Structure 1
Amino acid sequence: MRIIHRYLKLAVVGLMLSGCASNVIPTFSDTPDYSSLYLRGVFTWWEADEKYKLVEISNNKYATSIRLIADGQPYDFRFADSNWSPDLNCGYLKANSDQIVKLGQSVKANCESKDENFRFTPTETGLYQFSIDFSGYGSPIVQISLKDN
């Protein structure tokens, strides 16, 4: 009888503790922290340079600007956080349609890429804005615009 009583007490205590624990609901975010992204490329030696940290310019659209020299050579780049995290490492989606970025045109990004660098060749020296838009459904959209000459 004592053994049954002991097990009954343990069962009651276990139920009480599990009841308390069930009130605690862990929360997980499905949305990565896009504010931790940097424009990284040959112009930054692929480092996460604070000068090129992305800032939110509208709802889930991030951008930064960089001065580029038009010498006919392409600039390889991508958007990634400082740790090259798997879901915050954005390169092109499809090689045939998204790898080459042209001024004012949109291409699609894959933020789980490994070596899929975008490529941009400026036609004139100036300040360029690089942006990535996460606001739509599907793949993020990358664009480059000329800010000045």
Structure 2
Amino acid sequence: MSALVFLSACSSRGTVSIPGITEPPAIQFENLYLRGVFNWWEANDPYKLTRGKGGWFVDVELIADGQPYDFRLSDAYWTPDQTCGAEYKGQMALLATAAYLDCGAESENLQFTPQSTGTYRFAFSPADAGEVRLLVTRLD
């Protein structure tokens, strides 16, 4: 009888956890910053994402000196499931070409090399399977 009570109590929780299969956490874009070499990797207000038509964005002035800018997307605390970056080391973000960011402790820095000095918009939106879509465009 005690085994039946034990099983009944276990089944009343209403959720089943299967090891290795988890739902990716929701990305909280309203709490994220573009963090990289251009702002010393800090969570500064000018680099906090702003909600726009179709997603979130931040505008950044970049100097074209032939060197790539390393960057990531993260909250103020570098929370692993709220930190998004490259799927692999050395992944480049290309102008006007969608890139997909992985979120989690395993992600790497992305790189972007501007062809000319100016203001660039880094636009982010949710994608499938917990990824984040990035599109970099030139504003001026």
| TM bin (shorter chain) | 0.7 to 0.9
How far 1:32 moved relative to its partner? 3.6
How far 1:128 moved relative to its partner? 0.2
Unmatched runs of 5 consecutive residues or more in structure 2: 1-24
> Which entry has the higher C-alpha Rg, 1 or 2?
1
| Count of residue pairs the alignment pairs up | 115
Could you tell me which residue of structure 2 aligns to residue 133 of structure 1? Answer: 125
When the two structures are superposed, what TM-score results if normalisation uses the length of structure 1? 0.72
Could you tell me which residue of structure 2 aligns to residue 124 of structure 1? Answer: 116
How far 1:80 moved relative to its partner? 0.4
**Does 1:101 find its partner at 2:96?**
no
Question: What secondary structure is seen at the aligned counterpart in 2 of 1:87?
Answer: helix
Question: What secondary structure is seen at the aligned counterpart in 1 of 2:96?
Answer: coil
Could you tell me which residue of structure 1 aligns to residue 11 of structure 2? Answer: none
Give the alignment's Cα RMSD to 1 decimal: 1.6
Calculate percent identity across the aligned residue pairs: 38
Q: Which has the higher helix share?
A: 1
| Contact 1:91/1:113 (<8 A) preserved | no
Distance 1:68 1:114 in 2: 27
| Contact 1:89/1:114 (<8 A) preserved | no
Equivalent position amino acid for 2:128 in 1:
Y
Unmatched runs of 5 consecutive residues or more in structure 1: 1-29
Runs ≥4 in structure 1, deviation > 6 angstroms? none
Equivalent position amino acid for 1:88 in 2:
Q
